Amino acid sequence: MAYAAFRSIGAYVPSKILTNAELAVMVDTSDEWITKRTGIKERRISAKNETTSDMGVKAAKKAIERSGVDVGEIDMIICATISPDYFCMPSTATIISNKLGLANVTAFDISAACTGFVYILSIAKAFIESGMKKNILIIGAEKLSAITDYTDRGTCILFGDGAGAAIISATDNKEEAIIDIHTGADGTFADLLMTPNGGSGSMHDSLDREAAGCFMQMKGNETFKVAVRTLTKDVIEILQENKIDSSDVKHFIPHQANLRIIKAVGDALKFKDDQVVLTVAKFGNTSGASIPMAINDIYEEGKLKYGELMLLDAFGGGLTWGSALVPFSPLK
């Protein structure tokens, strides 16, 4: 049987920084409020002509370069995004495949909001374990600034842009294998986080995105409570089912939504501070890109080594959630 190994990580962050002080000029908020309630100090914003696929390609190139896998050996590309280059088609994954010069791969996007990266990791694992694919490029990429309402202080303080990518490859070495992935969804909470208009559920003639209400809306406080509950429950279950103690986890890498959510979950699970990976202060919430950007952060700081166990934990619109027990398994 083939196992799925997490071979490499890469990320891209736009150079433009949007600070809390700058947001305080745009909406009725303050650096103090944002820092206290979210832990976010700044977020990155892509250039006007920089697309989600542009960022995804830059992250992908780094992941490919670090993987030891030749670009021509990639047989599938999956992109997790809620801010695709184009609303319906083509998928951002196919645009990325073209920009990478790959003409004959399976390529598609999935929409699972902030849980997107855990979802695509689970799809990659399944395709590799079934023997259908050997080297899969997975990408979480978001230009959330394109769907953020910069007059709504309840959302615009949270979100930023960026991309992260990983290569998942077949291996026969069980020690290197992704251990387990849980994913779930509950549509009864669909209205907590949504872009209410612009889809087939509410057709609009207007192409003005603002007038058409194509921006994200969120019931922040309700989402917050469900997030803490769900993220904690999910981790308890995946650890118990796999008989792994939280002290065996080297890096707990939660979706970077809000420092208070991460702290509440980390405390409930009794993780020590040095186990918990935090990038929320400098990147804000980048939805499907947040987990691979955080993995890349510890990788580039030299803190992520061969064989170390990562526990990924995500939660987002849908509502969706997921967790994954993943040893870091670069080719030696």
Which residue numbers are catalytic?
A: 114, 255, 285
* Binding-residue pattern over the window 174 to 213 for ligand UT7, x denoting contact by CB under 6 A: -------------------x--------------------
Q: Could you say whether residue 38 binds ligand UT7 (CB under 6 A)?
A: yes
- Which of 6, 12, 224, 321 is the binder for ligand UT7 (CB under 6 A)? 224
Q: Could you say whether residue 223 binds ligand UT7 (CB under 6 A)?
A: yes
Q: How far apart (Å, rounded) are the C-alpha atoms in residues 87 and 253?
A: 30
Is 12 in contact with 59 (CB distance < 8 Å)? Answer: yes
Q: Could you say whether residue 221 binds ligand UT7 (CB under 6 A)?
A: yes
Q: Give me the least distance between CB of 230 and ligand UT7, in Å please.
A: 10
198 vs 318 by CB, closer to ligand UT7: 318
E strand spans, the chain: 3-12, 16-19, 42-45, 76-80, 106-110, 135-143, 161-171, 180-185, 193-194, 217-218, 251-254, 309-316, 320-327
Q: Could you say whether residue 258 binds ligand UT7 (CB under 6 A)?
A: yes
Show Cβ contacts of residue 91 under 8 Å, excluding neighbours closer than 6 positions: 79, 84, 107, 108, 109
Site size toward ligand UT7 (CB under 6 A) is 19
* Binding-residue pattern over the window 101 to 130 for ligand UT7, x denoting contact by CB under 6 A: -------------x----------------
Residue nearest to ligand UT7 (CB): 220
- Which of 84, 316, 318, 322 is the binder for ligand UT7 (CB under 6 A)? 316
Question: Measured between alpha carbons, how far is residue 328 from residues 6, 31, 134, 165 in Å?
Answer: 6, 36, 17, 14
Name residue 87's amino acid. F
Q: How far apart (Å, rounded) are the C-alpha atoms in residues 277 and 266?
A: 10
- Which of 2, 35, 37, 41 is the binder for ligand UT7 (CB under 6 A)? 37
Name residue 60's amino acid. A
Question: Measured between alpha carbons, how far is residue 124 from residues 106, 236, 315 in Å?
Answer: 12, 24, 19
- Which of 134, 153, 229, 263 is the binder for ligand UT7 (CB under 6 A)? 153
